[in-house]
């Protein structure tokens, strides 16, 4: 585990040499399709999070402008 570090799962999944060393079955097409679906879902979640973060930052900036105008 220390040799491969935190990316061990990725190595075991994608590295054909390690898969052969540990006698792991070949990856099936279903898993690659599932990964694509997960990537799409991840992108949607990231877009939603980005939108929420942008809205929150917009509010924060507007509050800063309002406070600085009140202090003047």
Walk along the chain (72 residues) and give the pLDDT tens digit of each residue: 466 577 777 777 778 888 888 888 766 545 665 666 688 888 999 999 999 999 999 999 998 888 888 876
What pTM was estimated for this model as a whole?
A: 0.44
Angle at 57 between CA 61 and CA 53, to 5 degrees: 175
Report the C-alpha dihedral over residues 21, 27, 32, 34, rounded to 10 degrees.
Answer: -110
CA distance 21 to 27: 15
């Amino acid at each position: 585990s220390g040799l491969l570090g935190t990316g061990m799962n990725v190595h075991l999944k994608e590295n054909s040499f390690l898969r052969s060393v540990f006698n792991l079955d070949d990856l099936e097409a279903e898993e690659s399709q599932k990964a694509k679906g997960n990537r799409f879902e991840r992108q949607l979640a990231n877009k939603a999070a980005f939108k929420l973060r942008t809205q929150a930052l917009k509010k924060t900036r507007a509050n800063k402008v309002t406070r600085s105008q009140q202090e003047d």
